[in-house]
Amino acid sequence: MITNTELEYKGDLYPTKIVSFEHEVDSVFFHTDNSVILKVTVLRDSLIRFRFTTKGYFSNDFSYAIDKSHSHGYNFLEVSEVEDYYQIKTSKVQCRIQKIDMRLSIFDLEDHLILEDELGFHWEESYEYGGNIVKMSKSSKDGECFYGLGDKATQLNLKGKRLENFATDQYAFQKDQEPLYKVVPFYIGLHNKKTYGIFFDNTFRTYFDFCHERRNVSSYWAEGGEMNYYFIYGPQMQDVVTTFTDLTGKPELPPLWALGYHQCKWSYYPESNLKEVAAKFRELKIPCDALYLDIDYMEGFRCFTWNKEYFPDPKRMVAELAEDGFKTVVIIDPGIKIDKEYSIYKEALEKDYFCKRADGPYMKGKVWPGECNFPDYTNPAVREWWAGLFKELVSDIGVKGVWNDMNEPAVMEVPNKTFPMDVRHDYDGNPCSHRKAHNIYGTQMARATYHGVKRFAYPKRPFVITRSAYAGAQRYSSSWTGDNVASWEHLWVANIQVQRMSISGMGFTGSDIGGFAEQPSGELYARWIQLGVFHPFCRTHSSGDHGNQEPWAFDEEVIDITRKFVSLRYQLLPYLYTMFWQYIEEAIPMLKPLVYYDQEDIQTHYRNDEFIFGNQILVCPILEPNSLGRRMYIPRGHWYNYWTNQEVKGGKEIWVDTKFDQIPLFVKSGSIIPKYPIQQYVGELEFDELTLDVYYKSGKEKSVVYEDAQDGYDYKKGRYSFLSFQIIGKEKELIIQVHKEGKYDTNYSKYKINFIGLPFKVKNIEIDNEKILFDKRTFENGNYLIIDKEFTELHIIGE
Ligand code: GLC
């Protein structure tokens, strides 16, 4: 284990002077006289990879994180040599490499320093394991801020913190507890209103220090592997996040139902219990799309089996639930029970698919089923076999989604909670120990699961959720933040974790609403659901140890609040789906912390609570008991209070009154927010109108709405509908222009347009330059208009 003084360690080695360099296409190699080679590869004008070796040659280049189809190609690349340094220039940045010690610095084209090595690359030789402990330190200027790193349960701005990346089953983790379940060695630096990103693609245990050990130094290091990192230039945070997300991959669209509400508990059984839960949702008219089966559905926790006493006929049950709109999601863990009578165990044993210890025995550890062996998901043949195992669950029984858990991998009753480090892995033909494979084990499991569910769900879309993940896991799976606690502090943590995951490329994430461990009060549950409906993944889950956590476990008021907020989420489904589409298409994070939204405004740099849901809705949870409102920061621009339609000017902190059945919600002026009618599950209703809430603005604003068949792959063949709206507001006029793309014809034929904040009385309305008749009184009373969707310009003219 590396201790506090790793950066000052006397035994550290450093590159000496550069003695030669070669330029080959997109890469430049620099050699020092102590056999260090730095390979600089320009992937895009604002995306540069730095790879170091101390051996005099590079080992095989392999990464699970990088998406092979990421965009690359640059406009300009020039390599030059001046007296003290070499310079690599692209159309966005200039990178200088000092001849004397290989330290590097990166500038924008106006010569503003973006990032500069402090000690730069250095290393400590590891006698015990071979190879190096690889280290990097950068100078940090006063006022610099740091963001990113996945699921860390701490302030959004990581300045002053030291963090550790080692996937860990952290039951009932606490605020600031390290490490957690996921590993995203990617951070964003913000200084002088300019943003850059660093992705340290190294799966060994890594550490990041953001001016914690030394005030003006940020650093990162790994217990093995290569110093291999990507530098991403902004200058906007959006540029950094979208480039990183594109580099590590975007998911496909989930089925729309997966954006509905999910209900889970450890565990719903027997069948009658699950059916009661289903019926109660419908009776209380709380929308719900997915119900989960936790480990007790299995026979002795053996994956891919059913407890026939609790669930005598799973296929019938799943079909009956489906008739009522419920999709069944089942848990599958990595541990395979050691049991000679168990077919999956026997097959894996025969095929030699389990992970082995260094000296040959199979890796054996206790999980729910007792002693288990564990498939080596880093072996492509094992992944292929695993994918095939989902045939019965998905094709025959009709399960719609799979939940992968305990895949850090978690092992019980051992101090390190996981495999010993000598366990061997295939690592896709790059054999290694668990030191290197630990952090990506969960992702490779989720990947195999995803391919299996996808294969058998086809032509429908798969749904997979995982607890552990490494950067890039978003290509295969959604995720949740693990075993949190029913406390107010954890509500605060959940809010930050999900925002942080969003800017770390892994946007389809949520927390266990209400808290997994312990029991929330009704008030806490209500406050959590009010936040949870604004998270991309929205699921209530609990350990079930302390009672129930269905909405009806609480009083009427809480039930009403749950219904109100879950219904609002269902109304906002087209808005939510559109932000998902922007995520898969343009890598834009679905939730935007305030600093992402407006990095130029320094007021946003340390904000934790408020965030932008999609592009146009500002959300701020209530995080304390007995609150009748709260102080919050409204970002710059004009906003409408969602509940009162009152306009506020941002750029300041204000007090917002909210009743128990509200949280502060604001809509950006100029927005057009699409809404569906409230449905009890996705696809329940056929409807003939899309509601558009138009928030008046003086000036211009764009809004978009993406729709398709809500499942299946036709959207990839152009069968989608993409509406771009532009509003132009003037003193006595409002113009709405629509542009339509795509080959999908939505089922509805009309828009119901609600006008909010119109500053004038309407005299005339024109559609595509033709005056229409309208009933002034209805318009004035309701402020809405129902019109045929086939128009290109709507013109509202004031008196
Ligand atoms: C783990 C999971 C939790 C699940 C439980 C039983 O603690 O994080 O969500 O309910 O295992 O499977």
CATH classification at residue 479: 3.20.20.80
Q: How many domains does the chain have?
A: 3
Indicate which atom in ligand 1 lies nearest the CA of residue 264. 10
Indicate which atom in ligand 1 lies nearest the CA of residue 295. 12
Q: Are residues 229 and 88 in the same domain?
A: yes
Mutation pick for ligand 1 pocket among 180, 264, 266 (CB with most ligand atoms within 8 Å): 266
Q: Are residues 176 and 227 in the same domain?
A: yes
Measured CA to CA, the distance from residue 702 to residue 674 in angstroms comes to 13
Measured CA to CA, the distance from residue 675 to residue 569 in angstroms comes to 9
Mutation pick for ligand 1 pocket among 295, 405, 549 (CB with most ligand atoms within 8 Å): 405
Residue 422 maps to a domain: yes
Residue 349 maps to a domain: no
Answer whether 163's CB lies under 8 Å from 171's CB.
no
Q: Are residues 470 and 541 in the same domain?
A: yes
Residue 396 annotated among the catalytic residues of the structure:
no
Measured CA to CA, the distance from residue 152 to residue 181 in angstroms comes to 9
Q: Which of 201, 239, 333, 408 is catalytic?
A: 408
Indicate which atom in ligand 1 lies nearest the CA of residue 171. 7
Q: What is the pTM of this model?
A: 0.97
**What's the gap in Å between 583 CA and the centre of ligand 1?**
28
Residue 693 maps to a domain: yes
Answer whether 638's CB lies under 8 Å from 223's CB.
no
**Using CA positions, which residue lies closest to atom 4 of ligand 1?**
266
Mutation pick for ligand 1 pocket among 298, 467, 478, 516 (CB with most ligand atoms within 8 Å): 516
Q: Name the E strands within 205-335.
A: 206-210, 217-222, 227-233, 262-263, 290-293, 327-332
Q: Are residues 286 and 148 in the same domain?
A: no
Measured CA to CA, the distance from residue 204 to residue 223 in angstroms comes to 6
Answer whether 176's CB lies under 8 Å from 153's CB.
yes
Q: What is the pLDDT of residue 8?
A: 56
Q: How far is CA 310 from the centre of its chain?
A: 35
Residue 365 maps to a domain: no
**What's the gap in Å between 282 CA and the centre of ligand 1?**
26
Q: Are residues 138 and 275 in the same domain?
A: no
Q: How many CA atoms lie within 13 A of 83 on its CB side?
A: 0
Q: Which of 117, 144, 376, 405 is catalytic?
A: 405
State whether residue 84 is helix, strand or coil.
coil
> E strand or H helix at 190, and its extent?
strand 186-191
Residue 483 annotated among the catalytic residues of the structure:
yes
Secondary structure string (H, E, C) spanning 220-233? EEECCCCEEEEEEE
Q: Are residues 75 and 206 in the same domain?
A: yes
Which CATH number fits the domain that encloses residue 33?
2.60.40.1760
- The two tokens of residue 97 are 């490499």
**What's the gap in Å between 442 CA and the centre of ligand 1?**
15
Q: Are residues 451 and 507 in the same domain?
A: yes
Q: Are residues 202 and 300 in the same domain?
A: no
Answer whether 421's CB lies under 8 Å from 374's CB.
no
Picking from 527, 553, 586, the residue at the C-terminal end of a domain is 586
**What's the gap in Å between 153 CA and the centre of ligand 1?**
19
Structural domain including 33 reads 4-234
Q: What is the pLDDT of residue 3?
A: 43
Residue 408 annotated among the catalytic residues of the structure:
yes
Residue 250 maps to a domain: no
Indicate which atom in ligand 1 lies nearest the CA of residue 333. 12
**What's the gap in Å between 405 CA and the centre of ligand 1?**
7
Residue 75 maps to a domain: yes
Q: What is the torsion angle, in degrees rounded to the nearest 10, for the CA atoms of residue 453, residue 457, residue 460 and residue 466?
A: -20
Q: Are residues 223 and 325 in the same domain?
A: no
Ligand 1 pocket, residues with Cβ under 6 angstroms: 266, 294-295, 331, 405, 467, 482-483, 541
Q: What is the mean pLDDT of each run of 10 residues along the chain (799 residues)?
A: 51 96 97 98 98 97 97 97 97 98 98 98 96 98 97 98 98 98 98 98 98 97 98 98 98 98 98 98 98 98 98 98 98 98 98 98 98 99 98 98 98 97 98 98 99 98 98 98 98 98 98 97 98 98 91 98 99 98 98 98 98 98 97 98 98 97 98 98 97 98 98 98 98 98 97 97 95 85 92 96
Answer whether 500's CB lies under 8 Å from 156's CB.
yes
Residue 666 maps to a domain: no
Picking from 570, 586, 602, the residue at the C-terminal end of a domain is 586
Q: Are residues 227 and 299 in the same domain?
A: no
Measured CA to CA, the distance from residue 554 to residue 598 in angstroms comes to 39
Is 528 exposed, middle or buried (CB count within 10 Å of its CB: 0-12, 13-18, 19+)?
buried
Q: Are residues 317 and 462 in the same domain?
A: yes
**What's the gap in Å between 266 CA and the centre of ligand 1?**
7
Query: Ramachandran region of residue 130, left (φ > 0), alpha (ψ -120 to 50) or beta?
Result: left
Picking from 528, 561, 586, the residue at the C-terminal end of a domain is 586
Q: Are residues 200 and 99 in the same domain?
A: yes
Residue 93 maps to a domain: yes
**Using CA positions, which residue lies closest to atom 7 of ligand 1?**
483
554-560: long-range contacts (C-beta < 8 A, 24 or more apart)?
554/522, 554/525, 554/526, 555/522, 557/522, 557/526, 557/660, 557/661, 558/522, 558/523, 558/525, 558/526, 559/284, 559/286, 560/661
**What's the gap in Å between 557 CA and the centre of ligand 1?**
29
